[in-house]
Amino acid sequence: MVRSLAAVEGTATVLSQRQRRRDAARTRQGWDTYGPARPFQGLWVGLAVLLLLPGLVLTAMRLVPPTDDAPALVASFISYAVLTYLLSFGCFVVALLRARRRAVLGMLSGITAVLLVCHICWLAPLFRADHRQPRTDSFAVMTLNLLHGQADSGAVMQRARAADVVVLLEATDSSITDLDRYGWSERFPFSAGKPQQGAESTVVFSRLPMSEQASLSRSQAQQWIATVSVPQIGPVRVIAAHPCNPYCGQNRWHSEHQELADAAAANMGQPLLVAGDLNAVEDHKSMLVMRRDGLKSATDILGAGWLPTYPSGRSIPPLLPIDHILVNRFLTATSIERFEVAGTDHLGLMARIAGT
């Protein structure tokens, strides 16, 4: 009798334990539940979605580059999608950890992470040198937008003393006269282009012999092509570029960038250098086209990173890399640096270029 009672009690205990385990299994949280709603959960989700939206717009512009003026202006900030996606992903993760149901938030977090990685991959070449080896001595190329000739002439001359070829944008008669007081013409006896008033003037100066000068006739600002005879390399075609910005209207931004890309493609069979204020970032269509055709920036070749040049001399740091020095496969870059000159809203670029 005692043994039978003990057996019954043991069976009851086992059944009770099994019931407790079943009850616990029913109440155990699934991966997509958290329990009671947390305060401010909607704020985290809303902030994550708000940050995600501009990133999606910029990604679409990277995949289908715009040609109209207003969208092209917005596309100048494509690289900043890295920041919007990073912040959005952080907010999604916080919301995910606090959520009662995690399936949708988990999916959105994953999509945001993938888009973030895509933009990082698009930026990565700027930080990775391609080890294009120089085969000749190098020559120095400088480019600077003078902002209607307002840049400090003494500072410009000080920088230019180290250059062999100089591309000046928005150069005026008075600014070149001021430079001549510092011996500019003696340093650079060869030139292409004619200074004039306003923002339309582009001039190429060289201490090396220059020939075969021609202008890109359809551009609002002057753009010049010339051949510079460089020791050890030979003839180098130089395009001084200053196509319209997206504020020009009448779709001139697209048409002038197309003209520049066509001129570059026509000269790709020889050493080619394109330098100036291109009013475009690496993600714009014209830059992608020229890269596809064989032009790479000195920044890209050296893995020098993301080097914004505009605006300069403001209360905010430079935001956009719109000034460039590009070369084709016959040339390489051995160094590049940015520099600041008082009186202009652009940083200048100085690069040393060699033959390959």
3-state secondary structure 176-228: HHHHHCCCHHHHCCEEECCCCCCCCCEEEEECCCEEEEEECCCCCCCCEEEEE
Report d(CA 203, CA 196) in Å as an integer. Answer: 10
Question: Given 3-state DSSP classes, what are the helix, strand and coil percentages for the chain, each rounded to the nearest 5?
Answer: 40, 20, 35
Q: How many CB atoms lie within 10 A of CB 42?
A: 11
Report d(CA 50, CA 69) in Å as an integer. Answer: 25
Report d(CA 343, CA 351) in Å as an integer. Answer: 22
Q: Are strands 296-297 and 272-277 parallel, antiparallel or unpaired?
A: unpaired
Report d(CA 82, CA 160) in Å as an integer. Answer: 36
Output the CA–CA distances (angstroms, integers) from residue 128 to 73, 120, 132, 136, 298, in the order listed: 27, 12, 12, 23, 12
Contact 81, 87 (CB under 8 A): no
Q: Please name the amino acid found at residue 253.
A: W
Report d(CA 31, CA 107) in Å as an integer. Answer: 13
pLDDT, averaged per 10 consecutive residues of the chain (356 residues), comes to: 53 60 54 59 91 97 93 96 97 89 90 97 93 95 96 97 97 93 96 76 95 85 94 97 89 92 96 97 95 96 96 94 98 97 97 97
- Residue with the two structure tokens 């006896």: 189
Report d(CA 94, CA 45) in Å as an integer. Answer: 9
Radius of gyration of the chain (CA): 30
- Residue with the two structure tokens 């600077």: 144
Selection from 126, 115, 123, 124 nearest residue 55 by Cα: 115
Q: What pLDDT is stored for residue 329 in this prediction?
A: 97
DSSP label at residue 248: S
Q: What pLDDT is stored for residue 40 in this prediction?
A: 80
By residue count, the chain amounts to 356
Output the CA–CA distances (angstroms, integers) from residue 310 to 113, 160, 262, 335, in the order listed: 29, 20, 26, 20
Q: What pLDDT is stored for residue 31 in this prediction?
A: 47
Q: What pLDDT is stored for residue 174 in this prediction?
A: 92
SS3 240: strand
**Helix (H) or strand (E) segment spanning residue 296:** strand 296-297
The token duo for 35 is 């329990």
86-126: pLDDT as tens digits: 999 999 999 988 887 888 999 999 999 999 999 999 999 99
